[in-house]
A = this chain, B = another copy of it.
Amino acid sequence: MGIPYYVPSGNECLLFETAFRRQLPLLIKGPTGCGKTRFVLHMAAKLGRPLFTVACHDDLTAADLTGRFLIKGGETVWVDGPLTRAIREGGICYLDEVVEARKDVTVVLHPLTDDRRMMPLERTGEILRAPDEFMLVVSYNPGYQNILKSLKPSTRQRFIAISFDFPPPETELEIIATETGLERDKCRVLVNLATQLRILKDVDLEENISTRLLIYCAILMMEGLDPYQAAQAALIEPLSDEADVQQGLLELVRATWG
């Protein structure tokens, strides 16, 4: 496996490398499907470190990250969680949508993100010292944040941070063409549509269209679906359930594609 394809749009690679070299924890902010996960995959491969990704959610607890004793074949054995494995193997641990995790996760993150750089495994009695190659990366989507779910400042101020957005049009065109093989003219039409959609003020979307959906649409077109059917299934239906919003999106597709 080579290094996963990634087209940078700013100084994010430099910042990631600096953070890695100086053992600074990194926070990535940005909307759904703008390429945060791909960027981390790319950097992990480039730096030659194993990557441990965890999609956080309401019920994620510290033990899901650190590990637990499990019963296997009648014996009780300790099984490392993804964070513990990242520390032991000097890898990168990526907590996606970290604000969704439960609050006991902070007890694990705090001593890992100051000069102690250690993690006590109370259950086994071990104290793990993070090697220089270990790096903690977390992400969240500022568009979701609300009062109940946010990083406490005492956690947040332990990270340097980068803001992500969708790639600029030429980059996005490049990505779609490379990933799907669709001819560039058709890719350009898709990117133009996305640009229109993302600046749209009159349509009530919970979140903007992602590069991923554009790629899905391109795949359906490559498979022979007519562009309107492809847009219906890959763009309009995934974005909204509201009849009037869907109608607005459809008109935009028609206006853009002629």
- CB of B152 within 8 A of CB of A60, answer no
Q: Which residues does chain B contribute within 8 Å of A233, judged by CB atoms?
A: 15, 160-162
CB distance from A90 to the nearest CB of B (A): 19
Q: Which residues does chain B contribute within 8 Å of A239, judged by CB atoms?
A: 157
The 8 Å CB contact of A238, one of B27, B33, B53, B238, is B27
- CB of B237 within 8 A of CB of A29, answer yes
The 8 Å CB contact of A107, one of B24, B54, B156, is B54
| A:94-116 near B, CB below 8 Å | 96-97, 100, 102-107, 110-111, 114
CB distance from A211 to the nearest CB of B (A): 10
Closest to A229 in B: B11
Copies in the complex: 6
| A:10-43 near B, CB below 8 Å | 11, 14-15, 18, 21-22, 24, 27, 29, 32-33, 37
Closest to A224 in B: B18
- CB of B33 within 8 A of CB of A157, answer yes
Q: Which residues does chain B contribute within 8 Å of A24, judged by CB atoms?
A: 216, 219
Q: A33-B154, A145-B241, A220-B160 are in contact. Are A76 and B79 (CB under 8 A)?
A: no
Whether, in the assembled complex, A125 has its beta carbon less than 8 Å from a beta carbon of chain B, the answer is yes
Q: A107-B54, A107-B56, A111-B53 are in contact. Are A160 and B97 (CB under 8 A)?
A: no
Whether, in the assembled complex, A74 has its beta carbon less than 8 Å from a beta carbon of chain B, the answer is yes
- CB of A55 within 8 A of CB of B123, answer no
The complex places the Cα of A207 from the Cα of B123 at a distance, in Å, of 34
Interface size on A, residues (CB 8 A): 83
- CB of B144 within 8 A of CB of A107, answer no
Closest to A18 in B: B223
> CB-CB contacts of A61-74 with B at 8 A, as 1s and 0s?
10010000111111
Whether, in the assembled complex, A171 has its beta carbon less than 8 Å from a beta carbon of chain B, the answer is no
> Can you name 27 A-B pairs with beta carbons within 8 Å?
A15-B225, A15-B229, A18-B220, A22-B219, A29-B241, A37-B114, A53-B111, A57-B106, A58-B103, A59-B102, A60-B107, A69-B70, A69-B72, A71-B76, A74-B76, A79-B122, A100-B103, A153-B206, A156-B238, A157-B210, A157-B212, A157-B238, A157-B239, A159-B238, A160-B234, A161-B233, A162-B237
Whether, in the assembled complex, A250 has its beta carbon less than 8 Å from a beta carbon of chain B, the answer is no
The 8 Å CB contact of A237, one of B27, B152, B234, B237, is B27
